[in-house]
Chain A
Amino acid sequence: MTNAPTNAASAEVTAIDSGARRPLLLLLGAALVWLVVSGVLALITSIQMHSPGFQADCPVLTHGRAAALRETAFIYGWAANAGLAIALWVLARLGGAPLRALNWAVIGTIFWNLGVAVGLVGIATGDMTSFAFFQLPRYVQPLLVVAYGAIAVSGVLAWSGRRTDQTYASQWYAVAALFLFPWLSSAAQVVLLWAPVRGTLQALASGWFTQGVWACWLAPLALAGAYYVVPKVSGRVLPSYDFAPLSFWTLIFVGAWTGGRHLVGGPVPAWIATMAVVSCSLLLFHYLIVGLNLRVACGAEGTGIKFIRYGLAAYVLGGVLDGITSFRGIALRTQFTLISDAQEQMAIYGGVSMMFFGAIYYMVPRLTGRPWASALFTVGHRVLVTSGVTVLLISLFVGGWIQSGELLDSKIPLADILGHLRIWFLLGSAANLVILGANILFLVNFCQSACVCSPIQASTENLFRQPTALEAPVS
């Protein structure tokens, strides 16, 4: 760091960013490739909903396998890589020092993605497990935990070696996510894959893991990025920030307890579902505080902040819907319908992925020292993916609403119900096509921005304005 720049741009782009450039761009590139792969699979599975014959003779792409492949590529391919890149970067920026142990991160990234690739082949050839968010065959699961640990080392070192004692919400969420995934995954592996518990307990463990992946891993990763970008771009202090720690601990403590909401009416003791209902209600406080904290995103401008605004709305709304649909009387209608799918998509696509997009749009120019290659592709991706996800959610919610009413009426044959849903399935396919196109634009734009490997240009002085100091609120 002998040549640490002292010019006007020094405060915004420093050795912290240039040093982390290649490892983090590797993570992001892998993430985007998996995102497109998952998009292709999403399109195939959604076409199969209205045209069941599509690819039905291809054993690799029968609906069950294709759906598992889509989900796995999305969670372990896209979300994991992107979330880790964001978490590491945020920890480095707020820690005030360049990332260390980046060799570990690179090796971890390579093995993680190899593991995911092998796992996807395994799923396609029939080795998948039967648990949601956990379909990867058991022979790659330990590898993934180790690879994750190797990547996370950098983040943990950035946290423990931070330059000041001051900490910020982004760091809490990022560090929590770094530590919680290995715990969730290894615990779930033991009780579901290596020494499987029997009977009902499997459903319980699976529910715990599914909700844990969401509440203790993906949501914290997304919030780490959002909590960082929103005040940085808006230049405003987060309102009600005094409650941010309470909100954080509510999510970490209560989050995985919501797992039992998938088991309402199932063969589990009454208290498990009741505990999940109660946890969903308590989580409303977390969503409320996140909404209050990050509402300053509404007044700000920028590509990243627009994504985060959408993500935030979906995140909070999704949380409220989770709370409402967890109650038994309502779960009776929504369980096992497209509404459950809609909620899942709202959480992992509308909420988490949109916040990831926002953080990535903010982060990549700082890593590469160049703006995004194409303004057209940037705006195009944003418009297409937000409208695509919106249409997808509408099709699933409306279709699910119709489906739930008709499924409860024993006089309507199942085939008729599927017939009534056909239009919404078609709409869903169209939405998935738009989303896929948007994400291909994103991948191309990313490759053009990132793959020209030249040092940070002198023009960064003009590229990034000198940020000013944040003014404390007048109390």
Chain B
Amino acid sequence: MSTPPNSDPRVDQAAVTDESLLAVHEKILGSQPDEKARYKLLPLNLLFIFSGLIFFAGTYMNRYAGRFDPHIYDENLKSTKGEAVAAAPVDPVVVGKKLFNNAACNTCHQATGLGQPGAIPPLVASEWATGPAERVIRIVLHGLQGPITVNGAAYNSAMPPFGRVAGSGFNWSDDKVAAVLTYVRQEWGNQASAITTEKVAEIRAKEGDHKPWTAEELLKIP
């Protein structure tokens, strides 16, 4: 359609009627019944632009919103979550207690550390638990099976491997192994030395994926 000339500046001529203006534009929006199925798809390039703007907005928000914290006024503040955890000193006894009681050690040894008479050896005042670090680390890392004598009583059961070794269902890091051992050695009146992560790492490197230990093997280690 050609635009009719609008020569008089005092009157703007209308080219189209209101009814057709409504009808044609409503048709474009596709909200009118369209029996001939002539709906058009939205142009992709504009959708891409819109999506691009939303993507930019989301990314920018994530980077500069200061975690929506009302106390953060500097938009350039980097997330401090990871650093804070690494920097804060961790009490191995607290971590160890959590690990011990989290459906791991306490299932057999009980939260009291007394074990089950005749089946599971106690940890309280046990010459093994408070004994040489070399032995307890190996027990927790690789597990233990076969007969063992604790506090004069004989037991014969199996303990699974907890360390990050082959066949372990727990895959505890050296940190966790050290923490849980420290807890066991300093809880319930036990007063043995703490176990360090370095020591655990050293033994794990030395023994690799050893199969579960027996009491006999362990007694040979000083």
Q: Give residues in A with beta carbon < 8 Å to B.
A: 11-12, 93-94, 96, 164, 166-169, 229, 231-238, 240-246, 267-271, 273-275, 277-278, 281-282, 284-285, 288-289, 292, 299-305, 328, 361-362, 365, 371-375, 378-379, 382, 463-465, 467-473, 475
Contacts of A361 in B (CB 8 A): 12
Q: Tell me whether B73 and A270 are in contact (CB under 8 A).
A: yes
Is the Cβ of B13 less than 8 Å from the Cβ of A302? yes
Instruction: List B contacts of A467 (CB < 8 A).
Output: 13-17
What residues on B are CB-neighbors of A244 within 8 Å? 29
Which chain B residues (1-29) contact chain A, with CB distance < 8 Å?
Answer: 1-29
Q: Are A274 and B65 CB-contacts (below 8 A) given A299-B3, A305-B12? A: yes
A464/B65 in contact, CB under 8 A? no
A-B contact pairs, 16 of them (CB 8 A): A233-B15, A234-B15, A235-B3, A240-B43, A269-B66, A269-B68, A274-B66, A277-B64, A282-B54, A292-B46, A300-B3, A361-B12, A371-B10, A378-B10, A464-B13, A469-B20
Given the known inter-chain contacts A237-B24, A241-B25, please indicate yes or no for A301 contacting B38, CB distance below 8 A: no
Q: Are A273 and B11 in contact (CB under 8 A)?
A: no
Q: Please determine whether B17 and A372 come into contact, CB atoms closer than 8 angstroms.
A: no
Chain B residues lying within 8 Å of A468, measured Cβ to Cβ, are 1, 15-17, 20
Residue of chain B at shortest CB distance from A229: B12
Across-interface contacts of B6 in A (CB, < 8 A): 233, 300-302, 305
Q: Chain A contacts of B46 at CB under 8 A?
A: 240, 243, 288-289, 292
Contact A267 B14 (CB under 8 A): no
| A-binding residues in B (CB < 8 A) | 1-30, 32, 38, 40, 42-43, 46, 49-50, 53-54, 56-57, 60-61, 64-75, 77
Contact A94 B18 (CB under 8 A): yes
Determine how close the nearest CB of chain A comes to the CB of B52; give it in whole angstroms: 9
Establish whether residues B71 and A269, one from each chain, have CB atoms under 8 Å apart when the complex forms: yes
B75 and A166 contacting across the interface, CB-CB below 8 Å: no
A281 touches B56 (CB 8 A): yes
Contact pick for A242, options B18, B28, B38, B75, CB 8 Å? B28
**Chain B contacts of A245 at CB under 8 A?**
29
Q: How far is the CB of B214 from chain A (nearest CB, A)?
A: 60
Contact A302 B29 (CB under 8 A): no
Which residues of the other chain, B, contact A12 by a CB distance below 8 angstroms?
Answer: 14, 17
* Interface pair B28/A304, CB less than 8 Å apart: no
Could you tell me the distance in whole angstroms from the C-beta of A107 to the nearest C-beta in chain B? Answer: 28
- Shortest Cβ distance from residue B215 to the other chain A in the assembled complex, whole angstroms: 60
Pairwise interchain contact A464-B14, C-beta atoms closer than 8 A: yes
Q: List the B side residues contacting A373 at CB < 8 Å.
A: 10
Cα–Cα distance between A301 and B9 once the two chains are bound (Å): 9
Distance between Cα atoms of A274 and B59 in the complex (Å): 11
Contact B3 A285 (CB under 8 A): no
Chain A residues near B54 (CB-CB < 8 A):
282
Q: Which of A281, A288, A292, A301 has the most CB of B within 10 A?
A: A301
In contact, A231 and B22 (Cβ under 8 angstroms):
no
16 extra A-B contacts, CB within 8 A, seeds A233-B14, A235-B15: A94-B21, A168-B22, A232-B14, A236-B3, A238-B25, A269-B69, A270-B72, A270-B74, A271-B69, A282-B53, A284-B53, A288-B46, A382-B9, A464-B11, A469-B16, A475-B40
